[in-house]
Structure 1
Amino acid sequence: MTLPADDEEQAPYRPPDYAARIDDRRVCPDCRNDPVHGSEGGWRPVSAFRLVTGKAAARYKDGRRYAAYCRHHENQRMREGIAAKRAAGIMPTDAQRERQRASNRRSDAKRRRTNKRREAEQRWKAKTSLEHQAAIRDRAHARYRDWAARPENREHRKAYRARWYREKVEREKVEREIAAGLHPSPSPSGGAKPESGNTRERENARTPDH
């Protein structure tokens, strides 16, 4: 609707109303020659046509998202197509239908899966993976034990145990020295442990009196 103006050239452009662009009637091709369910020229109101929605609506122009045939002839064509497939023997069997239903159920279950359930499944998979790795480590220890028990690997086993014992003795010696105060105890952050007290008092305590 264009607003009145003194000068038509100066009037701003306004597109026509959207509802005015939608026709109230459409032509169904099958209604032209159908003596039972037909109409003059095949014209039918838009309410007799199925409104296309969803992703399929992108194939239609704006305001023209209606099926090509009315509901009556659309269903009739569908029944005729099913009858032709059944007569040709290309209809899916019961086993194929059951497999398709099972696939649809799995797809629906995937769509219904929430983030909380997905996170729980990820935690369960991580736990089972850790258990699997622990089992591998146990088997690896058993393999090394069997390998070390062989006579030809006796020298390697003795050298490994001697090295492990030396490292154990050195580690215990360092721990005893740290407990006796001979070494500064390492801080959790990895750096030197800061001294407590005032900085000036520490400097005065270090400087001898003359």
Structure 2
Amino acid sequence: MSDELQNYQLQLQQVEAALLSDPNNEELKKLKVDLEEVIELTLDLKNKAEEAANLPEYTEPVAIVEEEDEITRSLLAVEEFVAQNKNKKIWRVGDVCMAKWSEDGQYYEAKIDVINPNGTKRIYWFKELEEEREVEKKKWLAFANKAIKTKKSGLKTRSIFASPDTVNGRVGIGTCGISGKPMTEFATAEKWRKGV
């Protein structure tokens, strides 16, 4: 905030210097008034922030009645606990955190699985989960690749509508994919009668 304040004061000095050379410029006069107002507001904000920082987070009650009821005591205890542990993170099962992995000493995202009574936490490593997923993925890819490799290639067939190899060839007329060759000749079947 002090950097901003110094920046505003520097700008104000520049505007005042410009006003010395051109005292009748209305824009510079308005800019000077605006900068003075911004500096004043920034100083107010800075002072209030310093006052708030100096206040204690928890204050003891001034007059404690000797006949406190149980609710008042528990509320005061909770208020004091919250004030003391304001910056501490309270972890719950299922929270995602960064945890140090003992194998390589690096921090990885993890999910809290169990919180023990002594305060230790058991976590699932996302890295381990990713490795498990990778193993499953590799198994599936190996299976899929094996299925592709075992496909029988068979004979290559050409379309009967492919362009013929010769000028006299016809498209789609019983050439069985061998364009440019004549149709297979068939002998007509003779009738056969018994005894004739």
Fold conserved (TM > 0.5)?
A: no
TM range (shorter): under 0.3
Higher relative helix content: 1
